[in-house]
Amino acid sequence: MKSSISGSIPPGLTNVKDLQLSPINNNVDIFTYQEMWLATKHFRPDLIIGEGGFGIVYKGVIDDSVRQGYKTIEVAIKELNPEGFQGDREWLDYNPKLSDFGLAKEGPVGDQTHVSTRIMGTYGYAAPEYIMTGHLTARSDVYGFGVVLLELLIGRGAMEKNKPSQDHSLVEWARPILNNKNLPRILDPRMEGQYSIEAAMEVGKLAHLCLSPNPKSRPLINEAVETLKALEVNEEASPEGVSRSSSGQ
């Protein structure tokens, strides 16, 4: 599990015990491999929720059986692929990160329009043109952002192999529904009453644009952000607030 470590780690702290005892990490929970092994029920295959260039991602539960007195919490645990090329530097520079999202963050530069690279990233989030050609642009990341929007709206993972084969990919399953403006019938029921139907439709429209097979049809990420900000302002200003749900009431 990659913990968020505050600041740089001084020389000499080379193992988990040293990290746990160091005063600079008194606000960080650091776990041993044994604890991660217990949290994932011995890295059980049916708890795998994803796989990318870094390695396999498991769903885990940290509770009293893993660490005595620990409050139960669900976590995502990454197991580094020792034969991979991603992650080693991240584990060594111990800088806090939200994620390793953003494949295009290292380019393109100058007058280049794309970066050619080996295929990396988590399955289900990579843009189709990147998978086909290895050409990476800023709009490739917009596609991944669209997948995340869709996950939030529908309450499903990007790839769910426990579903019928034609429904493994969230994007492929949802795209026809978004195109036909039938989003309300597939919205995550757990969000009932937390949004207006108009706002949900606008977010669905934005996700559909971000997921366009044609990269040039996707908005720029700053345009997507401005759209979401405007929706937030409108929702707060609405006299009905967010009491209107997917039923339209």
216 is in an annotated binding site: no
Q: What is the mean pLDDT of residues 237-244?
A: 54
**What mean pLDDT do residues 106-135 have?**
65
Fold of 1-95: Phosphorylase Kinase; domain 1 (3.30.200)
Asked whether 179 and 212 are in contact (CB, 8 A), the reply is no
Q: Which residues contact 48 (CB under 8 A, 6 or more apart)?
A: 56, 57, 58, 59
Query: Is the pTM here over 0.85, yes or no?
Result: no
What's the chain's average pLDDT? 75
| pLDDT, average across residues 29-51 | 88
How many whole angstroms from its chain centre is CA 145?
A: 8
pLDDT at 246 over 70: no
| DSSP-derived pairing of the beta strands 55-62 and 48-51 | antiparallel
pLDDT band at 91 (very low <50, low <70, confident <90, very high): low
Non-local CB neighbours of 201 within 8 Å, separated by 6+ positions = 181, 183, 184
Query: What 3-state class would DSSP assign to 76?
Result: strand
Q: Length of the chain, please?
A: 249
Question: Per residue in 141-165, pLDDT tens?
Answer: 899 999 999 999 999 888 887 777 7
**3-class DSSP state of 4:** coil
% of the chain exceeding 90 in pLDDT? 25
pLDDT at 40: 94
**Confidence band, pLDDT 50/70/90 cuts, at residue 122:** low
Q: For residue range 187-213, list pLDDT tens digits in order.
A: 998 888 888 888 888 999 999 999 999
Where in the chain are all domains bearing CATH 1.10.510.10? 103-249
C-beta separation of 115 from 134 below 8 A: no
Q: Where are the beta strands (DSSP E) in 42-187?
A: 48-51, 55-62, 73-80, 115-116, 135-136
CATH number of 103-249: 1.10.510.10
The segment(s) of the chain belonging to CATH 3.30.200 are 1-95
Here the tokens at position 133 are 């050609």
Say what the pLDDT of residue 112 is.
56
Per-residue confidence (pLDDT) for residue 158, from 0 to 100: 85
